[in-house]
Structures are given as C-alpha cells and as structure tokens.
Amino acid sequence: MEIFVRNIRRLARYFFLVFAGFLLTGCAGRAQQAVSASEEVKNAESYETESSEDVEMKSENMKEEVIAEFVCKRLQAVDFTIKEYPIDKEIYTEELDREYKRAFSQVLNNQIPIQYEYGEEAYFIEIWAESKRSYYEKIKENFLYYYLDFDGDGLPELVIKSPGDVNFGGPRILKYNADNSKVYNFGEHWRFPKLELLCSGKLYCEDGTGAGGIRYEYQEIDSLGKIVIDVGLYHWYGLEKDSYEISIDGFENVEVDKESWDSVTKDFFEAKDNAVKGITYDELFSDMEHP
C-alpha cells in the first residue's frame, strides 16, 4: 500500500510538470516532460517489483553507513590531547616527597604489601614465580617508571611498566595514602600487557596482530580507576586492499573508509608519538639510598 501511494504521488507530480511544460514551451515541452514522467513511473514500478532480499540488502547497507558515521563522529569527539595534572606544591612538600618515595621503594623491594580491594593484599614479588635474584634485576634494569599525578588529585602516583612481560600485564598504578602509610593498587589488577602510559589518566597500545594487521587501543581512566572510554582501532593490510575498523561505545569492528579513518584518528596518532617517557629505577630514587 505504501509503495502504491508513493507511485500515485509521483504520477501527480510529473503530470503537473507536463502541464507546466505545455504552458511554458508548447507541445515540444509537453512531449519531453511526458517522456520524463513515463521514465519515472517505470522506475517506480521497477522498485515495486524488487525482491525482498534486494530491499533488505539496501536497508542493511544504509544501516552500516549510519553506524560508520556515528562511530566516526564519536571518535572525533574524544580528546586525545597529551595532558599533565600539576602537582599541588602546597600539599606535596619535600618531606612528603621523601615519604611517598620511601613507601614506593618498600613496595618494590617487598618490605610492605600492596593493598587491593576487599581487604586483599600481596607483595609485589608474588606477581612472578621466579627467583628473587631475577626479580630484583628486573625491577632495577628492565622496568620503566612514571612518577606523575595520574588521577588529578594533586599528588603523584607511581606507574610501573614491565616491557614484554605477559605475566605482569599492562601498567600497574600505585597510590600512596599518607593517612595510614599504605600503598594501594589503583584501578584494575591486570591490564592488556601491551598497554603503555600515554599521559595522566590515559593508556594506549600499538600491537601487531600477526594476521596481516595492527591493533591500537586507547583508554581513559577516571579518578576512581574505572575505564570510562575504551577505543579499538584496527588497520588490516594483509588482504587484497587495506581496510580500517573502529570499536567504541559498544560498536565493535565497524568498517570505515580510509578518508574517514585518516580524519578521525590523526589526533590519536599524534598523541601516541608524544607519549610521556618513562624513567629508570635509579632515576626515580636518585635522592634516596637504594636497598
């Protein structure tokens, strides 16, 4: 019925055009408009006889285009800017700096445990089933450290990264509480091992999939340690032609064209190239006696 009504409307419109053409240009104009109207009617009839599979395919293509446009706009709204929360110098005095670093050093050297949710606690060495000698070599020679205000409270957190260690997972974020002299795990226990610190409140990774593609991920962490933005970006190049996919806000692996990809990911790639740099154990504790 809907198609029939649409056809009637088209016929009325084009007969009006025929009449208008007669008034303006005479018989020649009338003939030309009549031919145009006839062609449009044929097109309408052709649409009416399309199979349900063809109509469903067109509908699905339109749906995919709408979703692709949505995820592009959503990604474009993400602020990838490298930011740094300033340390509150009025609160974080030199004395408090020594207290913080002493506590973090004690955690790394297994003198005090890390506090987890629900009253759980664990010593840092328990992350690996390795010898103590191997452990101490790693924390001093292989680990990277970031000492900055991660959550925006004006006080520093210690972010620890073990390059290439799958058991360790991604960056560990430790937070010291001066009121009870305890060190807490901030956020999740375990993260994807390839994740790196991008800057305050943000993590990222770049990971070759081994299947003709490369995967990028971006996360924003709020002041409670929860992931509030989680983005997946995929560039597949092992096929006949490159393809690009975006995952965000529950939409998974939505394919977009290269022009859209270049436009909405350029800020991410610029931020990735300017990620904060880690320091060594010796640099972190340069003003302290090393255990």
The token duo for 99 is: 């207290």
- pLDDT at position 128 is 62
- pLDDT of residue 16 exceeding 80, the answer is no
Domain ranges (residues) in the chain = 1-32, 94-284
Half-sphere exposure of 274 (CA within 13 A, CB side): 12
At 62, the pLDDT band (50, 70, 90 cuts) reads: low
- pLDDT of residue 22 exceeding 90, the answer is no
| Measured distance between the N- and C-terminal CA atoms of the chain, rounded to whole angstroms | 84
Mean pLDDT of all residues in 17-34: 38
Nearest CA to 114 out of 168, 188, 179, 185 is that of: 185
Mean pLDDT of the chain: 81
Nearest CA to 207 out of 152, 252, 250, 164 is that of: 164
pLDDT, tens digit, 9 for 90 and up, residues 191-247: 888 999 999 999 999 998 667 899 999 999 999 999 999 999 999 987 778 999 999
pLDDT, tens digit, 9 for 90 and up, residues 31-46: 343 334 344 434 434 4
CA of residue 150 relative to chain centroid, distance: 18
pLDDT, tens digit, 9 for 90 and up, residues 91-145: 999 999 999 999 999 999 999 999 998 889 999 888 665 666 788 888 898 899 9
Counts of helices then strands in the chain (DSSP H, E): 6, 12
- pLDDT at position 48 is 42
Nearest CA to 171 out of 153, 151, 146, 148 is that of: 146
- pLDDT at position 117 is 83
At 281, the pLDDT band (50, 70, 90 cuts) reads: very high
pLDDT, tens digit, 9 for 90 and up, residues 141-159: 889 999 999 999 999 999 9
